[in-house]
Structure formats: structure tokens, C-alpha cells
Structure 1
Amino acid sequence: MAQIGQVLVDVPTMQTNDPYSYAIPAELEHQVEVGMRVTVPFGRGKRVVSGVVVGLSDVTNFDGQLKSIQSVLDLAPVLNTELQQLADWLADTTYAFRITCIQTMLPNLLKAQTERFIQPTTPLTATEMATYFPDGAPREFDAAKLDDQTVSGLLKLQRAGKVEVVYQVKDRAAAKTTTGITPALPVSKLQEIQVTVAKKAPKQADLLAYLQTMTPDTPVAQSQIVHRAGVSAAVINTAADKGWLTKQQIEVYRDPFHQPVKPTQPLKLNAEQQVAVDQITTAIDQQKVQNFLVEGVTGSGKTEVYLQSIAVALNQGRTALMLVPEIALTPQMVNRVKARFGQRVAVLHSGLSKGEQYDEWRRIDSGEATVVVGARSAVFAPVKNLGIIIMDEEHESSYKQDENPRYHARDVALWRGQYNQCPVVLGSATPSLETRARAAKGLYTRLVLAKRVNDRPLPPVHIVDMREEVKQRSEGDFSQPLLTAIQTRLDRHEQIVLLLNRRGFSSFVMCRDCGFVLKCPNCDISLTLHMDTHTMKCHYCGHEEAIPHVCPNCHSRKIRYYGTGTQKVEQALQREFPSANILRMDVDSTRRKGAHERILQKFGKHEADILLGTQMIAKGLDFPNVTLVGVLNADTALGLPDFRASERTFQLLTQVSGRAGRASKPGEVFIQTFNPDHYAIQLAQQQDYERFFVTEMHMRHQGSYPPYYFAVQLTASHEEEAVAAKAMFQIVAALKKGLSPDAIILGPTPKAIARVKRKYYYQVVIKYKQEPQLKPVLEQIRQAAQVPARHGLSVTIDSEPMNFM
């Protein structure tokens, strides 16, 4: 019986969410493996699509004539067994298509159009070289141009470890190469020549001496030989002309670490840190599934706990995965991990080029890199034999993906911990309520670091009531106490971090005569003024237009800018402190690759006195000379229609306060607010997370919100409002019919921002404790949404949404 491949085709619809049976051509039988990508004919026409083999069998329930797999795109699986199972679990829990989940796990290079080359990894026989590499060079692996017999032979060579496939992005990032040198003559001959040229050409003699130390078949980069042998490129060219050495192109990995890092040694732990490391390492030793919450105040040395725990896993021959919330945090954290573990560290985040991502993915896949540090998507890194998974700042909302598959990296990390029988460590100064509640129930082991390293005190926090300031000073972004504190730090040559919860120049443009606010034509939101480009921009769809000087509604000239943005504050700061060097860090100033790192390096070298930024500066930054932190508008998030508004405000204020006084110099924090009596602001002043947890849990219990209830958000969107609204009313009817009376159904209502990118959005939120019929009902809704989707109606399902905006 012919072998049959179960192929998941790259066509994300409900109809193709299960694999199709394809016959495996005789030449490829028992060589195609699960996890390989293939191309297959699909549909009635001559359409060819790519897909992933998810199963192999000898039987099929299809009684017609099976189509055959057309070609294999890989010589080895790109998905290992763990990631195949993870993709199935992810599709099931996020209501996403299986192929979408698989695509999420693979590096962009394997999703883009790629060229594949096969090259020998060991010397082949003369017959093998003549058959498979007639030109003596790597050959393009395009299955459409190769006969089945050749493909079959190459698969056998790959199994024997004699060849490998090298991927190159078409017209984009190819594998990076450099000139490599190998000796062309035996050592004895090189010695003879060295003796004859020693007096006339000492540099040629130096090169010959170096060539004698080289391994004959292992090329060394020319740049290294220039450095090590102390010779010029011209000397190497002469040696090549004389036949002493051979030049060839060799592949080198792109290095995302652009700066060399000074190695560090483990630090002495305090008693709390030691308890944490001991408990985590016991779980590593016992290969035990155990989830830890490391709840440590800012500056309590959580990173050192992570590093010493990773070292234990590595010493046992296992690997480690460490997640950080976003690119802004990655440079400092990556450098600390790299300084401790050197070349074993790989980094994955969206700030890398496609080529760098690809090279790092290959280093991880081959086992060359055993420690992976990265942002959200790094949770899918193909690391094998995990010994520990760490998730720093676990409360961060950026760990949740807001498009399909709508996964939370924490859930994926916990799944992988279970699969690999290893501990998962969640760390934060301000854990999410869900995580802290699980620790209270005993589902997670709670490890508390209540003191800062070396018993440094937490900085005193002053709350400035801006209502009083406005009465006295009418306008302005800075209170008098904050201005005085900034001047004091500048006089002492200390540094200042200022947080503003917004980007752009000001929040909106309004006419003082008629109240008209300039809005985006595609979205239901006001446009933001950007002085650097002299335009009004929409932060949702990217629409831009000129700054108006006359009201488009009543033609009055009394059009003014309201609110505050980072650019406007930067200008005001420069007016107040003309001699101060100011760095701005927001989405606009960090668009270019490596911009985060450059800004932080400049600040770290004290090339600037003040770092002004949005939320990205609130977490993870560790600069010993920062002694003042100012929060210009603590209330921004409090007014949002979201049940997590208080939690986010408390977390942000606590995190940013922790940037001050982290070394020997004492720190101080000023929080400007129009709501000085709000419990989130009062408790952030005291840095009292435990009291905040109790207070906020009481509020959640009263409102029947997570973590007391689970939540699912369904959203319908269409260019016509009536179509979106009608669809959502039909969905609510289906929910009421299928779910128990205990389920709380909120809606349907327009979303807080009802129109984005010319589409209207309606939503419904389901809150529930136990709802056995929920999954089948949601699957039914997803199935029913397939036909209207062709006419522009989109229905999305988000399990445990992070925000309801």
C-alpha cells in the first residue's frame, strides 16, 4: 500500500482546518517526515499551494483518486514534535486556524518566498558528487526542477548527515558570506618556502607560519588571519597568486549583538534571593513541573535569581528560555544574559533584520545556542530539552497578541513547562491579579523579594495635586515642586527620567468657538499633532493631513492645541532648562532599527541629563546615576473604559518609581495627578502591592470580573455599521440559546473606539465560571462566520482579552 501524507494546506479557512490526504510518490516513500513543508495541487484548477505534513498513514477514508505531493520544500522537519503538538493546542484554545498557528511559530524567512540550496557537510564519493553536485558547488533545491529520483537520493544523503539545506530569502536576506582561507600545501612544503622567503619578505614568512597552524580543511575568515598573523590583504593576495593558499566564500552568522559585552561573574545573593534560587534549582534537579511567582520590589535583584537558575539548567545539559515584554527592555536584559553566558545566547525579537532572525533561529534549532532571550514570539523558539522558562515582567499586556492566534505568551510558557517537565518562573514587582490570585490559591509557589539589593531604601514618592497647581500657575505640564527637583539634580550632575503617558506634540486640535475637534476620516478618534513632520496623524490607521489654521466647521481662526505630547513637553523642558541635554524616547523617535539601544546607550554614558519617554521607559531600565523620576500625568489610563485601568495605573507608577535610586545615590519620585485620592495612586506612592491586590480583588469581585470570572470577547466588524450591528445581535441570540443562565452576556455595544480603518466595530463580552457548552457554541459561531467573511464581515473571538477598548 502506498504511503499517504496528511497535509495541512496554507489556506486559512474552516474547510481546510483539517488535513487533506495526498499520495506520497514512490521515490519519496518513507522519506517524507511529519513537520516538513511540501507543495501540493489544491482545488479543481492547477493551483499549487504550500502546506505542512502533520501525519503519515497507509490508509485514507477518501475513496477517490488521491492527488500526489508535488515536491518537498525541506530535507528535514522545520517543526519538531513539541511545536507540532503546541500548534494543535494553540489552535484549539485561541479559536485560530491550525495553519495560522504553525505560521506564527516559524521565522519570517520560512514564510517568505525563499530559495533553498543544498551543500555537502562531509566529503562525498566521486559518484555522489558527479550525481548530485556536478558543478562542485552548492545546488539550488527547487523540487519542481529536480526529478523524483534525485530528490530521493538527496533525502537519503541528508538522513546520513552528508548534506544540508541552506535557506536564502529571495531578493532580500541571503546567508551572509565572507572570504575564507585554507592552506593549499602540506605543512612540510609551507615550512620549506618559509625558510627561503624569511629574509626577503618577513610578512610573507609570518603568513606562512600562520598557515602551518591551521587545520587543512577548515577555512578561517580572511579578516581574522589579517588580525592574527599581522599581515595585510595584499600579502594574502600574493600568497594566493603563488598557490600557497586557497580562497573561498564561507557563511558567517549575522551577529545581532553589535557591541562586545564584558563577561560577568555570579554575584553574592542575599538571604531572600538564595531561598528563591534554591527552590527553583530543586525543581530543575527533580525535572519537576512547578510554577513560581518571583514577586520582588524594583531593584530587589530578580535578574540575578534568573541568571543563577539558568546556570543550573545549563550545567545539567538542558536549555533555557527567557521572555522579556518588549524591544525597549531587550538591550539591557540581553546584554546581562550575554555577559554571563557568552556565545550560548541567542536573541529573538521583531527589531532584528529578517536575516538576523533567521540566523538566530538556525542557531537555536541546531542546538548551538542554548539560552534564548526574546520578546513575545520567542516563546515558540525551537529549543529542545528545556530546563527552565522565565517570564520577566509577567504582568505586561504586550505578552498578549492582538491578532490571530490571540495567544498569551504566559499560557504558552506554562504549556511548554508541562511538556518539558521543567519549572516556569514568572517575575514581577507588580504581578497581574490573575497570577497573584493563582499564587494565593497555591497553584504557583510564591517567592518574595521584599528588600532591595544591599538594603537600599525604596525612593520616597511625592504626590503633587495638579488641581492646586493649575489654580496657582494656570497652565503648564510641570508643577513647581518637580521643576525645583529637576534643577537640583542638574546642579548635582545627576540624571532624571520623566514619564509621559502619550506620544506626539499634543493630544488634539479643537476650535474654541464651536468646539469642533479634528477627527480621522477612517476612525472614530481625534488626530494627534506632530510638530516634527508638521502634520496631524491618526495613531490607529496612520492617516495624515496638514495642520489646520482655520476651523473646517465654522471657519473661525480660534483653533488651538489641547493636551500634552512628548514633543511639546520636550520643547517646554528645553525652555525651562536651556543647558540640559534631553533625550526623547517614544514610538516616533525609535522607529529605526537599533534606535532603542542607541538612546539608552547615550543615556547610560551620561551624554544626556534627562530621558523623557512614554511607557517604554517605565520598566527594566537600570542606570545608577538616575536619582529623580517624574510622572507628568498619572491619570491618563484611569479614565479608560476598561476594568484593568486601576491595575495598569498602579503597575506603571510602581514600575517607573523603581527607576530612581538604584545605586548608592538616594532617589526621589514626583507623581503629578488630578486624582490624588484614587487608591491606585495612593498605594503606588506607598509601593504597597499587597494592599492594592486586596483592594482591587474586592472591586473585581463586586463587578464579577477576572480573576473571579473567565472572559471571552467577540467582535464583529464591517464597513457598514448596520451589517456589523446585525451580525452581533445574531451572535448574542446564539449565545443566549446555547449557554446556561449563569453566563453573563454584556452587549452587544459599539466598541469604545467604534470605527477604525473605515470599519465599524461591535462587541459582546461573556463572563463565566464554568460553561461546558461554551466551546461548541463558539465553534458554531466561527463556522457560521465563514460565508459572510467573503463579503467583508469579520468576526473574531478573543479568549481572556487584555483590554476592551
Structure 2
Amino acid sequence: MTVVAQIGQILVDVPTMQTNDPYSYAIPAEWEHQLQAGMRVIVPFGRGHRMVDGVVVGVTDVTSFDGTLKPIEAVLDLSPVLNAELQQLADWLADETFAFRITCIQTMLPNLLKTKTEREIAPLDAITPAERATYFPDGTPRPFDPDKLDEATVAGLLKLQRAGKVTVLYHVKNQAAAKTTTGVAPLLPPDKLVEIQHAVAKRAPKQADLLAYLQGMTPSQPQPQAKVVKAAGVSSAVINTGAEKGWLEKSSLEVYRDPFHQPVKPTHPLTLNPDQAKAVAAITAAIDGDDTQNFLVEGVTGSGKTEVYLQSIAVALQQKRTALMLVPEIALTPQMVNRVKARFGEQVAVLHSGLSKGEQYDEWRRIDNGEATVVVGARSAVFAPVKNVGLIIMDEEHESSYKQDETPRYHARDVALWRGRYNHCPVVLGSATPSLETRARAAKGIYTRLVLPKRVNDRPLPTVHIVDMRAEMKSIGDSDFSTPLVAAIQARLDRKEQVVLMLNRRGYSSFVMCRDCGFVLKCPNCDISLTLHMDSHSMKCHYCGHEEAIPKVCPNCHSRKIRYYGTGTQKVETALQAQFPTARILRMDVDSTRRKGAHERILKQFGNHEADILLGTQMIAKGLDFPNVTLVGVLNADTALGLPDFRASERTFQLLTQVSGRAGRATKPGEVFIQTFNPDHYAIQLAQSQDYERFFVTEMAMRHQGSYPPYYFAVQVTASHEDEAVAAKAMYQIVAALKGDLSDQAIVLGPTPKAIARVKRKYYYQVVIKYKNEPDLKAGLEQIRQAAQIPARHGLAVTIDPEPMNFM
């Protein structure tokens, strides 16, 4: 090995003892000036020299160093998988969320880059004959396995990559990452093809057609056989004849997987109403001025927010910049993605967890290569490797699914705002019911508020009726459907209109209870009741997956009076079918949408009017736009109100407003029935009138009174262990350590067991700290995070959640 002249700063991925400080490794002389920050490498780590993955975060020249550095063992990429923006974002994210930099980097990369991948290097047109002979002697792509290549070869390939003369193809072990099809390329020069064409023209016209098409092709750019067949008007058999006669050669051609499984009909910009035009003008001015301005587009349901987004994206694209659009959940993605795809076609890439690993990877590569300039996706799409971003949009910004509930515990809104600052571009937050934090920032002038107060074409908001279920129970007994709702559903069925029914399942499900002794069947691993599933005739835990048979006798008192309580979607579906025997019902919940593409399939069936009633959980409340839906029913509006959660009223109001907005979106008027046991609660009363501004003022007063966000910041620290005493003791020690970092202005809640104290055989204890300005708190939490790594080896997990979505 020659003398080392460069050192690589490498973040290593060692789960047992993480650090944000990189380790120094010698860069072998053959790879000098080739390694760049953002590339992945393999390095020896520890005394045993075990090989671990790492990421280059810097390269320095050696000035003085005592001792011998271990050399980098292998280079996994020929070019960075993280661009400069995402490298800086990882550092910021680690600091903000009390996570390690390597964890943040892993979060940003597609799954395919985290698994064991096999790589091939393929030559491109720019390569010289000498280079081709040296590195690709048989003319085909070669495997890139650093373990089996000498350093000089890797160094040469790195140089070719930087010169744009080779490309890297990735394949997952045992499952090909790159999808291939048969490619066709001419083997003879055009003049020779013309000569043969004239010779065969009379006796084999189809062969002549193929020869004519081949003349216009570039030999180094194979085309998919399917394309040649269609364009030349010939059959596959004619292609085979051409290959046999030496006119063309067939090869394996890599193609991107298409997550859009059906073509979308193109659309054109619509005429804007004055409020929409004002919003687009304000956003356009910020794009034109490279202005880091943040907007809140607050528009009632059906006010045309999507058209504002689309026309703003068009402006960014005209300026040769890119656009990033976030939607909250996979269930919402199909309709929104289709609308963006219909407007911008092939420029659109989609990223969400519902795609296969291969599809995710292909879309990520299209974005990274600059082939896709509009990205639409759920939470993690905020890390898409788009460059030169001109606009970031976050639709339904109030949604809790934008917050990641495992490390790094980031909120996509904060990441979007960071990227807006980095790219000097506007960020647009849109919602009919903005989160209190966002609306409060708009009130302070931190965000510019753009209001869309009316529905498009002045369509009226639906009429909302509140049904007092306390009175109904006296007349109809224990039924899920009130008399007015039943009559309204029947009227819609008679008129061939459609109905959406939402079951608010949060914190509420079918459980089994003994009517003699009150015993509730609970999970042996978690402190929570088991849920009844009629399809599998079993009791299941939704936290750890434990499953057991439905009991016939009470395990406690041996009574046979053991019955199920609560309202699950399956139970409601059965009752609904009994009430309306001729109605076609579609159910949309976690169980019915487990399979890939199930959301889209159910919504497509409903959109094609293959069903009369769509029954579902909260996933049907948002973003759906079906013109024939004239009735929405909320079966149990107040289940979330009973939760020990300071956002319970806000979530209830948002959910009811959103689901009400699904009715009467076209020419037919809409009607909504909200069934509740709390008809006088302000969240339900104000959802009836869709009066967001009054709700905002009322709820802000409640938050001020209780010292909750947005008046205070909050951080939640949790400790968990299989032994309850260990978890509790750790939590008390953490609180004692933190108290030295806090002023007497901070409010400390706890330590206490969590609302569900035991999950997956582990006990959870927590403390919540509410504060306005605590300059020493961050450093104190950082120390706790570092110190927690040693007990973590013995099963004690400590997590820190900045700005938790709930305190449960």
C-alpha cells in the first residue's frame, strides 16, 4: 500500500454504540481524490476488525498524525447517494430530534440502498475504445463487488463514473432491483440496411418495414422490442428473423417500474375564482423572487386548494425548478397523485410506503437523475433528492400522520420549512382546518395567510345535523344507526346517490366483557383489551399481534354471559347489510386495505358506482372527491373526545369538518348527520357550522388556560423495560438529572406510567416537560441520550420526543 495522503471522515453504522462524530480512515492511494461526501463505504471497525457500513461525511488531507489509520475496505457507490442539501439536512435533523446522524441518513435513503445490493457497472457511449477494452473486455456490464476487485480497477471505475462514461445498475440479492425487458438495436450501418431493404421489399414487405425502421435507430441506444413492434408495424416473429439474419441484436434493457398502473387522462388549468387567483399570484411572486416565504392556504372543503397547488407548481416548472408536494396518507395519495399526474404527465414521480421496494427505488433514481421534476408522496417523500426546489406544498398540513413516531421523531412540516429556507423557495401549507400551531403562526405574521372562504362555483356547504344519541338510545335501543340517519340513507338509495359512513375508531373497538363480573379479556403482553375480529373468529391485539380464540366462558368467574361490546367496522357492516339488504357496501379499514393497491381499488370501485355505501374508518374522511356522494354519516363522533389527549377537541373538530366536506361536492346538495353523546361540546357544535375561526379562538383559550402548545413547547421522555421497577427507577433518575437544567418556569408532568402502561411485554414510564425558554434543556437531553446507550444493551430503552403529538 502506498503512502496515505487523504483521510476519510466516516460515520459508521454500529447499533450498539452510536456517535455523531465521524471516525478517521485512511483512503488508499488508488482512490485518492475520488471519494466524495455522501458515498457509502465498508470499513473495519473495532478490535475484531468486523466490517461495517459507513457514510463518507468529509475528506481531509493529512497534516500530522501519530499512529496508523485503518484503510477503507470497499467503496459501495461510484457517486454520492446523498447530495449536499440532504447531508446538511441530516445534521440539522439529528440535532433537532435527538437522533444520531447515521439514523437520519438511513431514514432518507430508499430501502433498496439499505439492503445488501449487488451492483453492476455498464459502459456508456462516451467511453473510449481503450477504456472499454481495459474495463469491459467482453463488452457487457461487469459486477461491481469491491471485495473481488483490486484497488486500481476500483480507482479507474471511479474516474470513469465522474467523467460520465459508465453507469451503475443495482440488483438486490435474490430479487432483481432493476426491471428488464428485451431491447433491440441495429447491427449494420444504415446504408447496408437500405441495400437489404431493397432486396427483400417485394417478397417480404414486413421485413422491409423492419429494415426501414432500423435505419433511423442509433446502434448504441437499444429500444424496447414492444416499442419497435408497434412503431414498425411488425410482429415479434419478424424481429426474431432480423436477429437470425444478423440485422439486429437483442439485449436485456433496464426499464423503470411504473407505479401508475393505469394511464391518466391529461387535464388543463381551470379558470380561477378571485380568491384562488389572489393565492396563486402571492405564491408566484415568492417563486419569482426566490423568496423564503411561507404561506397558509386556509380554504373550506371543496374551495379548490388543489387547483391553486397545480397552477403554482406550473410556475416553478416554467422557471426550470422542481416541486415537492406532500399528502398525509397513502389512502389520499391515489386521487391526489392522479390529479398531479394528469396535469404534469411524465415529470411526476410518486413516493410512498405502498410501493414495492423496487418501485420506490426506481422512482428515487428518476428523481435523483433529474428525470422527474414533480414529486408527490407521503411523509418520507420530504427527503426526496430533488435539486433546485422552487416550491414545496404540504396538503392537509394538520394531519398527525406527518409526525414520525419512531427515531428520528421528525415532523414533515419542520423538514419542509428547512428545505424551503435552503432552496430560497416558498412553502405552502394547506388545510380547511389548520393545526393550532400553524394558525397561531399565521396570526403572528410568521406565515402569510391566504383564505379561500367559498366552495368552487359558490356551491353551498352541506347541511349538518347533530343527532343526540342519548335520546335516540331510549327509542331505538343499542343500534349504530339513528332513525334520521336510516331515513336519509334510504332516500339516497332510492335516488341512486351514494353514501359515505365513517366509524370513528380511535381509542374504541369491539372488546369482550363478562356481564356478571365485568372481566375484560386483555392481551397477556400489553395493558390493553383484545379486539374482536369476526372474519378470523379470533381476539387480536393491535399492538403486539397476539391472537387467541374467542372465549365462550369468562376466564375469571366462569359465567357464560361473556359478550362483545363496542362497534367495529365488521360489526357495523353486518348490521348495515341487515338494515339495507339491497345496498352494495364497500368496507375500508386497516383489515380490508392490507394488500398492496387495496386503497386505490376500493376507491376506484366506489368512484365507478359499483357500490352505494362506503363504510370506513378515519381514512375515508379526507381528500376524497366523488360527485355522487350526497350524504355523509358519522356514527360515533365523540370517541376521540374521551381520550386523555390535549389535542382531543382539535382532532375531533378537524375530523368532523373534513368528513362533512365529502358531501355535496358537485351539483347535488349534500347533507351530513353527526351522531354524538356530547351534542353540546364546542368541537361538535362548531364543526356543524364549519366555523374554524371561532373554534381557533375557543381552543386557543383552552390551551392558554392549560399551559399547552402552541403557548408552550413540549418534550416527552419515555423509558421502557420488561421489569416495571427498572423503567420507573430510570425515569425518576432522568427527571432528577434534568431538574438541574430547568428554570422554575418549566412545568414537569411526571414521572407517570403511560396511558397504556404495557406494550409488547414492556412497561412504559414518561415525563413531559412544558417550557417557553430553557436554554440548558437541549444539552441536558443530549447527555441523557448519550448515557442511555449503555443500559440499552440490557433492555432499557430511553426515547426523547420533541413536540409530541399527544402525551398518552
TM-score (norm 1): 0.99
Once the two structures are TM-superposed, the CA of residue 123 in structure 1 deviates from its matched residue by: 4.8
CA displacement, residues 770-792 of structure 1 (integer Å, 9 cap, x when unaligned): 00010111112112212211110
Task: Give the match for residue 143 of structure 2.
Answer: 140
What is the Cα deviation at residue 14 of structure 1?
A: 5.5
- In structure 1, the gaps of 5 or more residues are none
Question: Does 2:438 correspond to 1:435?
Answer: yes
Q: Which amino acid aligns with 1:102?
A: I
* Residue 243 of structure 1, CA deviation: 1.6
Q: 1:179 and 1:328 mapped to 2: Cα distance? A: 35
Which residue is equivalent to 2:755? 752
Distance 1:229 1:533 in 2: 54
Match of 1:127 among 113, 122, 130: 130
CA change 1:114–1:60 in 2 (3 A) is farther
Query: 1:251 maps to which residue?
Result: 254
The partner residue of 1:621 within 613, 621, 624 is: 624
Contact kept, 8 Å, 1:505 with 1:566, in 2: the verdict is no
Identify which of 149, 164, 183 aligns with 1:180. 183
Please give the alpha-carbon distance, in whole angstroms, between the structure 2 residues aligned to 1:795 and 1:61.
40
The question of whether the paired residues in 2 share the 8 Å contact of 1:716 and 1:728 is answered with: yes
Corresponding letter in the other structure for 1:197: V
Letter in 1 for 2:728: A
State whether residues 185 and 249 of structure 2, in contact with CA within 8 Å, keep that contact through their aligned partners in structure 1. Answer: yes
Does residue 1:584 correspond to 2:606, yes or no? no
Structure 2 CA distance for partners of 1:173 and 1:550, relative to 1, 3 Å: farther
Specify the SS of the correspondent of 1:317: coil
1:778 equivalent among 778, 781, 790: 781
- Listed as ranges, the matches of 1:558-577 within 5 Å are 558-577=561-580
Asked if the contact 1:504–1:565 (Cα under 8 Å) also holds between the matched residues in 2, the reply is no
The one of 279, 282, 292 equivalent to 1:279 is: 282
- Give the corresponding residue for 1:481: 484
Match of 2:76 in 1: 73
Q: Is the 8 A contact 1:458 1:658 kept in 2?
A: yes
- CA distance in structure 1 between the partners assigned to 2:754 and 2:75 by the alignment: 45
> In structure 2, what is the Cα distance between the partners aligned to 1:120 and 1:491?
66
- Is this contact kept in 1: 2:587–2:615, CA < 8 A? yes
Using the alignment, how far apart are the partners of 1:103 and 1:506 within structure 2?
A: 35
Q: 1:322 aligns with which of 319, 322, 325?
A: 325
Residues 320-365 of structure 1 show CA distances to partners (whole Å, capped at 9, x for unaligned) of 0000001000000000000000000000000000000000000000
Q: Quick one: percent identity of the two aligned structures?
A: 83
Instruction: Return the alpha-carbon distance in structure 2 between the equivalents of residues 520 and 451 of structure 1.
Output: 49
In the alignment, does 2:386 pair up with 1:413? no
CA deviations 1:725-756 (Å, max 9, x no partner) are 01111111112222111110000100000000
Deviates more, 1:134-143 or 1:123-132: 123-132
- Describe how 1:783-794 pairs up with structure 2 within 5 A: 783-794=786-797
Q: Is the 8 A contact 2:323 2:375 kept in 1?
A: yes
Structure 1: how far apart are the matches of 2:98 and 2:533? 39
1:403 aligns with 2:436: no
Give the 3-state SS of the residue equivalent to 1:410 in structure 2.
helix
Report if the CA contact (8 A) 1:505-1:529 is conserved. no
What does the per-residue CA deviation read over 1:757-804, in whole Å, with 9 as the maximum and x for residues that have no partner? 000000000000000010111112112212211110000000000122
Shift of 1:35: 0.8
Pairing 1:723-738 to 2, within 5 Å after superposition? 723-738=726-741
Aligned to 2:652, what secondary structure does the other structure show?
helix
Q: What displacement does 1:192 show?
A: 3.2
Name 1:551's counterpart in structure 2: 554
Q: Give, in whole Å, the separation in 2 of the partners of 1:554 and 1:476.
A: 29
Which residue of 2 is the match for residue 394 of structure 1? 397
Judge conservation of contact 1:289–1:421 (CA < 8 Å) in 2. yes
1:642 and 2:645 matched: yes
Tell me the equivalent position of 2:208: 205
**3-state SS, counterpart of residue 740 of structure 2:** helix
Contact kept? 2:367, 2:386, Cα under 8 Å: yes
Work out whether 1:262 is the aligned partner of 2:286. Answer: no
In the alignment, the residues of structure 1 paired with residue 690 and residue 732 of structure 2 have an alpha-carbon distance, to the nearest angstrom, of 44
Match of 2:513 in 1: 510
AA in 1 matched with 2:356: S
Q: Is the partner of 1:250 in helix, strand or coil?
A: strand
Q: In the alignment, which residue of structure 1 is the partner of 2:58?
A: 55
How many residues of Structure 1 are paired with residues of Structure 2 in the alignment? Answer: 805
CA distance in 1, matches of 2:210, 2:166: 33
Query: Residue 332 of structure 2 aligns to a residue in which SS?
Result: helix
Q: Check if 1:769 corresponds to 2:772.
A: yes
Q: CA deviation digits over 1:116-150, x for unaligned, max 9?
A: 11111225333322221122211111111111111
SS in 1 for 2:454: coil
- From 351, 355, 358, the equivalent of 2:358 is 355
CA distance in 2, matches of 1:792, 1:601: 46
Residue pair 1:14, 1:783 contacting (<8 A) in 2 also = no
Q: Deviations over 1:591-621 (max 9, x none)?
A: 0001100001111110111110001000000
CA deviation string 1:36-58 (max 9, x = no partner): 11111100012011100101112
TM-score by length of 2: 0.98
- How far apart are the structure 1 equivalents of 2:474 and 2:199? 92
Q: Which residue of 1 aligns with 2:230?
A: 227
Over 3 Å counting, the alpha-carbon distance change for 1:173 and 1:641 in structure 2 is farther
Structure 2 letter corresponding to 1:22:
Y
Structure-2 change in CA distance of 1:775 and 1:504 (3 Å): closer
Q: Please state how far the C-alpha of 1:60 moved relative to its aligned partner.
A: 7.1
Alpha-carbon distance between aligned partners in 2 of 1:119 and 1:245, rounded to the nearest angstrom: 20
How many angstroms apart in 2 are the aligned matches of 1:183 and 1:121?
Answer: 17
Helix, strand or coil: the match of 1:545? strand
| Aligned equivalents of 2:566, 2:130: Cα separation in 1 | 76
5+ long unaligned stretches in structure 2: none
Q: CA deviation at 1:211?
A: 2.2
- CA shift, 1:2, in A, is 1.2
Amino acid at match of 1:705: Y
Query: Which is further off, 188-197 or 162-171?
Result: 188-197
Contact 1:717 1:759 in 2 (8 A): yes
Could you say what secondary structure the match of 1:258 adopts?
Answer: coil
Residue in 2 aligned with 1:703? 706
1:55-82 deviations in Å (ceiling 9; x for gaps):
1112478632111111111110111110
Query: Hey, what does 1:193 align to over in structure 2?
Result: 196
| Alpha-carbon distance in 2 for matches of 1:118, 1:83 | 25
1:239 aligns with 2:242: yes
Equivalent position to 2:744, from 741, 744, 750: 741
> CA deviation digits over 1:373-396, x for unaligned, max 9?
000000000000000000000000
Question: Which deviates the most, 685-694 or 173-182?
Answer: 173-182
Q: Which amino acid aligns with 1:71?
A: A
Match of 2:94 in 1: 91
Structure-2 separation of matches of 1:125 and 1:73:
25
Report the equivalent of 1:34.
37
Separation in structure 1 between the aligned mates of residue 89 and residue 56 of structure 2, nearest angstrom: 15
Measure, in 1, the Cα distance between the counterparts of 2:202 and 2:494.
64
Between stretches 434-443 and 174-183, larger displacement belongs to 174-183
Which residue of structure 2 aligns with residue 366 of structure 1? 369
Q: Is the 8 A contact 1:505 1:530 kept in 2?
A: no
2:188 and 2:792 map into 1 onto residues whose CA distance is 68
Contact conserved, 1:624 with 1:663, CA < 8 A, in 2? Answer: yes
CA RMSD of aligned residues (A): 1.3
Kindly report which structure 2 residues correspond to 1:634-673, keeping only aligned pairs within 5 A, or say none. Answer: 634-673=637-676
- Measured against aligned partners, the alpha-carbon deviations of 1:277-316 in whole angstroms (never above 9, x if no partner) come to 0000000000000000000000000000000000000000
Query: For 2:220 and 2:147, how far apart are their aligned partners in 1?
Result: 34
3-state SS, counterpart of residue 605 of structure 2: helix
